[in-house]
Amino acid sequence: MAKQTWTARQLPDLTGRVVVVTGASNGIGAIAAGELSRAGARVVLAVRDTTKGEAAAAKMTGKTEVRPLDLTNLVSVREFASAWSGDLDILINNAGIMAVPEGRTTDGFELQIGTNHLGHFALTNLLLPFVTDRVVTVTSDLHKIGKIDLDDLNWDKRKYKPLGAYCQSKLANVLFSAELQRRLAASGSTVGAVTAHPGVAKTNLISHVGGLQGALNRLLLAPITQDGEHGALPTLYAATQDIPGGSYVGPNGLIHTKGYPEIAKTSKAARNPDLARELWEASARLTDTDCPISSGV
């Protein structure tokens, strides 16, 4: 059987649909936002740097709007959510950072778990009453080597490891989406939660790594890297195609690093319902936000 070759040209007519894309000022977020607006959606670019967001939006066709959102600051997350009114068809939790030096968010969270997971966890819970279709959370296939330390999510006790912290945050993305889907289904909601990963795409995600290490990274990754346009396809597929809640979408090519979108399989840890529930409870305590629907437990 031939492999699926779905592309952005197969997007449905999205006229009248409203989509929020976090981190849409560059990378696959900007590409996805541009394709969604081209297909007729009104796309809100939720970005930390609105100047960069406006520059990205100026290159897009269709209806776009730029709003400030800093996922490293829960006050900003709450302000974004409190300003929202009207239906939100699709929320795409795309923004992320990768393997950065040790740092802290405004609220004291380790920078990667704070940005990639906790900021999106809070945003989703606050916006969920407005969502009519689905929540798409962008993760990484590196979640498969991630480990969740519920007693030390913020690396207060462990020696900080940039890649380890990244993989933990990406596993947290998948667990969060799985538990959100469980809660939505238990409540009888028709809203779905899905995840997507871009494979290895040429973006500025690891642009902070310079010198010999940066050059070595680019050399080693070159054979399994795809362009940003292909990297955005799993997100677009997850956001618009008729797929079950709880699906995990990624590239269908070489070791799932490149190719066209297909429904794939998450790691065993990512399918642990007890871990998903415990992470949810810890995240709710840390962010002081929780799902505004019945948990079904």
Q: Which of 160, 166, 248, 260 is catalytic?
A: 166
Question: Residue 185 burial by CB count (10 A; 0-12/13-18/19+): exposed, middle or buried?
Answer: middle
Q: How many CA atoms lie within 13 A of 29 on its CB side?
A: 29
Instruction: Round to whole Å and give the CA distance between 18 and 43.
Output: 6
Distances 142 to 58, 62, 134, 257 between C-alpha atoms, Å? 33, 34, 24, 10
**Is 248 noted as a catalytic residue in this protein?**
no
Amino acid at 256: H
Residue that the structure tokens 């799932």 belong to: 256
d(CA 256, CA 222): 14
* Phi, psi dihedrals of residue 65, rounded to the nearest 5°: -145, 140
Active centre residues (catalytic)? 166
